C-alpha cells in the first residue's frame, strides 16, 4: 500500500515522463510536471454534445493527457493513474445533484478479468467528491469481434443492445463516466440502456475526447 503512495507522491520527477528537473511546475491540474509536459497539457474542453445526448469532456485526447491515459490503461494503480484522478478532481466537472448516481460503461470481457479498470478508478473518486453514489448499473453482453478495429458505423451496429440494466432501484439522474470517448457510440448505447430502464436524465462525462 505504501508503495502506491510513494509512487504517486513521493518520487521526485515528472509524473508523466519521469524526467528529473530542478524546476518542476505545478499547473491548474494540481500535478507536478516538468516544463515540457506542462506545456503539452491540453486546454480544458467542455460540452461536446452528441445528437440526443449531453457529453462533457475534460480535455482533448492529446499531449500529456493522452500520454498519461495510454500509460495508466493497463497498469493498475500506477502513478499516472493517480495523477489523472487528481487532475480530474481539480478540473471543472458539471455540478450534479447528490441524488445523481455515477456509473461507468461496463468493461469488455478481456478487461473484466484484469480487475483494473481506469474509468472506474477515476469515476468512484469523482462521485465521492460530488457526494454521489457510485454503482455498477449496467452489464455488458458478449460481443463479437474487436471494437477498436471497426469503423464508426460498424461500431454502432456491433454495440446495439450490448448493455443491459443490472437491476435494482432506478435513479432519476445518472452520470456515465468513461476515460476516452471517440465517436460516442459506447456512451450512446449505455445511455439508451439506462433510459430503457427508466432513468430520466443521462449525463455523460469523459476524461478525454477525440474530436
Which residue, 36 or 170, is less far from Zn ion as judged by CB? 36
Chain centre to alpha carbon of residue 66: 12
Query: Does 83 contact Zn ion by CB under 5 A?
Result: no
Question: CA–CA distance from 199 to each of 141, 145, 173 (Å)?
Answer: 20, 30, 6
Terminal-residue alpha carbon distance, the chain:
37
Query: Does 25 contact Zn ion by CB under 5 A?
Result: no
Query: Does 17 contact Zn ion by CB under 5 A?
Result: yes
Query: Does 21 contact Zn ion by CB under 5 A?
Result: no
Q: Is the dihedral of CA 57, 120, 109, 69 positive or negative?
A: positive
Query: Does 68 contact Zn ion by CB under 5 A?
Result: no
Query: Does 19 contact Zn ion by CB under 5 A?
Result: yes
Cα–Cα distance, 160 to 70 (Å, whole number): 27
In the block, which residue shows the cell 448499473?
Answer: 137
Query: Does 40 contact Zn ion by CB under 5 A?
Result: no
Q: Under a CB-based contact definition with an 8 Å cutoff, are residues 137 and 116 in contact? A: no
Query: Does 206 contact Zn ion by CB under 5 A?
Result: no
- Residue from 8, 24, 31, 37 that binds Zn ion (CB under 5 A)? 37
**Distance of closest approach, residue 11 Cβ to Zn ion, in angstroms:** 13
Contact residues toward Zn ion (CB under 5 A) are 14, 16-17, 19, 34, 37
Amino acid at each position: 500500500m505504501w508503495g502506491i503512495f510513494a509512487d504517486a507522491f513521493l518520487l521526485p520527477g515528472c509524473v508523466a515522463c519521469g524526467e528529473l528537473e530542478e524546476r518542476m511546475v505545478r499547473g491548474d491540474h494540481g500535478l507536478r510536471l516538468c516544463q515540457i509536459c506542462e506545456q503539452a497539457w491540453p486546454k480544458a474542453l467542455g460540452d461536446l454534445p452528441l445528437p440526443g445526448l449531453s457529453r462533457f469532456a475534460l480535455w482533448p485526447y492529446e499531449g500529456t493527457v493522452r500520454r498519461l491515459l495510454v500509460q495508466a490503461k493497463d497498469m493498475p494503480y500506477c502513478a499516472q493513474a493517480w495523477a489523472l484522478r487528481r487532475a480530474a478532481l481539480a478540473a471543472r466537472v458539471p455540478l450534479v445533484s447528490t441524488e445523481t448516481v455515477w456509473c461507468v460503461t461496463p468493461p469488455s470481457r478481456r478487461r473484466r478479468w484484469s480487475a483494473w479498470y481506469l474509468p472506474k478508478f477515476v469515476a468512484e473518486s469523482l462521485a465521492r467528491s460530488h457526494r454521489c453514489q457510485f454503482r455498477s448499473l449496467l452489464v455488458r453482453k458478449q460481443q463479437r469481434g474487436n471494437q477498436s478495429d471497426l469503423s464508426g458505423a460498424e461500431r454502432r451496429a456491433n454495440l446495439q443492445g450490448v448493455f443491459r440494466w443490472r437491476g435494482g432501484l432506478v435513479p432519476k439522474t445518472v452520470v456515465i463516466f468513461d476515460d476516452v470517448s471517440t465517436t460516442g457510440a459506447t456512451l450512446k448505447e449505455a445511455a439508451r440502456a439506462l433510459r430503457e430502464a427508466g432513468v430520466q436524465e443521462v449525463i455523460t462525462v469523459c476524461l478525454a475526447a477525440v474530436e
